Amino acid sequence: MNRFFLNFLSCPVCQGQLLLYKREFLICHKEQLVYPICSKIPILLKSEAINILEK
Ligand SMILES: [Zn+2]
């Protein structure tokens, strides 16, 4: 996943910018939601997101 590709990804909840998190996730800092990346494909679904505040 390169930064150029990352610029085209936005949070499905708030349309905000997503940042790479621990190399396997994308994070939206606004909602503190983490989206998993499976086989280099980000799963940008709210139902698949992990709320890191609840951990
Ligand atoms: Zn968001």
Amino acid at 30: K
- Distance (angstroms) between ligand 1 centre and the Cα of 32 equals 8
How high is the pLDDT of residue 55? 55
How high is the pLDDT of residue 26? 94
How high is the pLDDT of residue 32? 93
SS3 call for 22: coil
Compute the distance between CA of residue 53 and CA of residue 8 in angstroms, rounded to an integer.
26
Domains of the chain: 3-51 (2.20.25.10)
Tokens 């980000």 found at: 42
In the chain, what is the straight-line distance between the N-terminal and C-terminal CA atoms, in Å? 26
Q: What is the pLDDT of residues 1-55, one digit of tens each?
A: 566 666 778 999 999 999 999 989 999 999 999 999 999 899 999 999 999 876 5
Q: What is the pLDDT of residues 1-10, one digit of tens each?
A: 566 666 778 9
How high is the pLDDT of residue 8? 78
- Distance (angstroms) between ligand 1 centre and the Cα of 28 equals 5
Compute the distance between CA of residue 3 and CA of residue 19 in angstroms, rounded to an integer.
9
- Distance (angstroms) between ligand 1 centre and the Cα of 3 equals 18
